Structure 1
Amino acid sequence: MNYQAFATLYDTLMADAPYGEWIHFLNKQLNVTNLEGQRILDVGCGTGELLVRLKQQGADVTGVDLSAEMLTIAKEKCEQYGFSPLLIQQSMTDLEDLGQFDVVTLFCDSLNYLETEQDVVKTFECINKLLKKGGYLLFDVHSVSKIENGFIGQTFAEDAGEVAYIWTSFEGVAPHSVEHELTFFVQNESHHYEKKFELHKQRTFPVEQYKKWLQKGYDDITVQADFTSFAPTAESERIFFSCRKKD
């Protein structure tokens, strides 16, 4: 998967993303009003938008992402806010020893980019090794309903001036998977539009399957939906998990 074009457009396309609600969810799960003293690893950190907000809450932050292009933007953004966190290019399925963290976050459906059960399990195991005793893993995923009814067979389009896109989603090969074909039209310095294309694949699993995998290394597992404190329903779109590393 090529993130080069997508990385430069990511912040434009995610301008309305609910970053503040992810921070609120984190604070609520940790039962704190700020993150002073918390050492947090943000996996799938992208362009660093969440890193900035975590830092503003007082956290000591580290970011990991597979995309070098995303990390370049994240570095520049964080420096604009006056800090230089450790940013590492790694796959979430093969995280090396990065030290010990109080919290690991994996938000904005980043986990859904893993296409096999084995990779999801490996990711949970890698994160477990990086958590301090009693540390928390917080993540969200698309619901099965969102993949099958909200994405598959749908086409989305937007013209944001300097960039426009057409986003078409098709059923993937694996169960509960989708393939997103994104065509971007980006205005260059000559005010002409350049066409760029990317293919993104995502897959999710039923809630009970995630819980079964998590139970091997985590306890105190809670499941909520759509930035609320309520359990998921058949209509829920985004599923949130909070779990604690076993003693």
Structure 2
Amino acid sequence: MESRNELFFSADTEELKKGCRENDKEMKCLICGETYEKGEIFPFEGRYFDAGKRMKLHLEKEHGSMLHFLLNSGLAGVSEIQSAILAAMAEGLSDKEIAARQQIAQSTVRNHRFKLREKERQARVFLAIMELMKESVPTEENDPGEKLCEPHRTASMVDDRYVITEEERTQILGTFFDENGHLKEIPAREKRKVVILRKIAENFKPGTKYTETEVNRILKRINDDFPYIRRLMIEYGFLDRTSDCSSYWIKE
């Protein structure tokens, strides 16, 4: 079965814009995996909708617009200020209005708009290059061990820490976890931390809110240094929490 992460990263441009994958039988949310079968009617807030409309309502209520989600996913490769400018552009704001909102000069806004336009052109060319490479040299299929793991969608920053092959991931998990799922030690290397934290995140259910006590109880079963692991889970973009730490949840 295709995981939510695989579903998201295997989506084409049109699917990412829509926020879902559609076939003859169903529609599936790329973000959380919520599925609606075609031909069925679904209740929502006292009314009933077909699969297509229900998926649109789901995306709006649970995830906001796809533009908002993608801009805040950390996967677009844009800076924080560029993300804010793109969001403002989507609202139809002028350079002057954007500059006032961000407290920067209009010339700075124009400069970022130019860079973003160039980035768009480069992205189209790079995508074509990668597609051509896959067609001519399917190296990952020839050597499954060299297949790269996709970074989790909520990674706070995607960098060299996330360059991990499936073979490396298997070796790291086998080294640091015992047969009972207990973490023998917290690795010092960043790449290894990413792997073990992603594994630990599987102990939390998407859409469920946890108190700090409940989070600690789950993490303590894995390793005694649960406060440090909890901090790492937040730092690396696996867990999120309210400002008063009264509620925690797995980021999606």
Q: Which has the larger radius of gyration?
A: 2
Q: Which structure is higher in helix share?
A: 2
Confirm or deny a common fold (TM above 0.5).
no
> TM-score category by the smaller chain?
under 0.3
Where is the strand percentage greater, Structure 1 or Structure 2?
A: 1
